Structure 1
Amino acid sequence: MHYFIGPEVAGGLGDGTVMDTSMHPPTISSLEYEFDDWLGDHLVESFPCYIVTEVAASAIRKSGLSGCSFGPVFIKKSETFEEINPGMALPDFVWLKVDGVAGVSDFGLSQDNRLVISEDAIRVFKKFGLENADFQEFN
């Protein structure tokens, strides 16, 4: 069974993101994620990118889940983040690069560019925290 997942949106693409907007979805070659807040989920998004905590990425690697790879992400905290969460440290994050087939791989993108993940992937994330994501069955 596979599910559409709408992860927590904890911020947006930072000014340091390098992207080609001549296509849809845009192609990102360097990612900066700027946090405005963080509710604690180990998977967050800002279209068209997803980032995961390093501990979740390590568990994904160890589990042998398919359809993704990882890359570096530069993390920044906005002024809003600092006002809402003074002194709060964020865990280390990495860029979750989704390249699998939706409904076949553990991670894939649907035709309308929504993230689709398997039950196995959900189980991995739930070990660490995935309380603010929305799920819908993928057919």
Structure 2
Amino acid sequence: MYKLIEPEVAGGLGEQTQMDNSFFPPLIKNLHYEFEGWLGNDILESFPCYIVTEKLRREIEFEKLTGINFDNVLISKSDTFLDLYPNRELPNFFWAKINGEPHKDDFFITDKNVLAISEKAYSVLKNYNIDQADIEDLE
């Protein structure tokens, strides 16, 4: 059984993101995630990308979950973020690149461009802060 997960959106693609819009979803070459706010979740989204905290990345790698690999992401804070949280530090984040095969790997993107996760992946994620994520069973 797989679940659909729509993580917290804490910001958006920053101006230094390099992407090719001739594809759908757009092909991202370098990711810049600019925070507007943050409710503390360990997995975040800004279509078509996902980022995870370093501690969640380590656990995913330890559990040898499939359909995901990691790359660096440039993180910045918007003026709004700085006004709301002037002294808030952000943990290290990594770009979670989802490349799994549907109904085979632990992570994959559905044909409706939603992140799907296996029961094993869900059992890992639920030990972290995913309070703001919408999660439902994949039918």
Q: TM-score, normalised by structure 2?
A: 0.97
Whole-angstrom CA distance in 2 between matches of 1:103 and 1:78: 37
**Deviation of 1:124 (Å):** 1.4
Q: Please, which runs of 5 or more residues in structure 2 have no aligned partner?
A: none
**Deviation of 1:58 (Å):** 0.5
Which residue does the alignment assign to 1:5? 5
**Deviation of 1:7 (Å):** 0.4
Which residue does the alignment assign to 2:132? 132
- Is residue 2:13 matched to residue 1:18? no
Whole-angstrom CA distance in 1 between matches of 2:102 and 2:43: 18
Whole-angstrom CA distance in 2 between matches of 1:91 and 1:116: 25
Whole-angstrom CA distance in 2 between matches of 1:20 and 1:123: 34
**Deviation of 1:101 (Å):** 1.8
> Do the aligned partners of 1:102 and 1:117 also contact (CA within 8 Å) in 2?
no
Deviations 1:26-73 (A, max 9, x none): 000100000000001100000000000011000000001010100000
Q: Please, which runs of 5 or more residues in structure 1 have no aligned partner?
A: none
> Do the aligned partners of 1:103 and 1:138 also contact (CA within 8 Å) in 2?
no
Which residue does the alignment assign to 1:116? 116
Aligned pair count? Answer: 139
The runs of at least 4 aligned residues of structure 1 exceeding 3 Å deviation read: none
Whole-angstrom CA distance in 2 between matches of 1:103 and 1:7: 20
Percent identity between the aligned chains? Answer: 45
Q: TM-score, normalised by structure 1?
A: 0.97
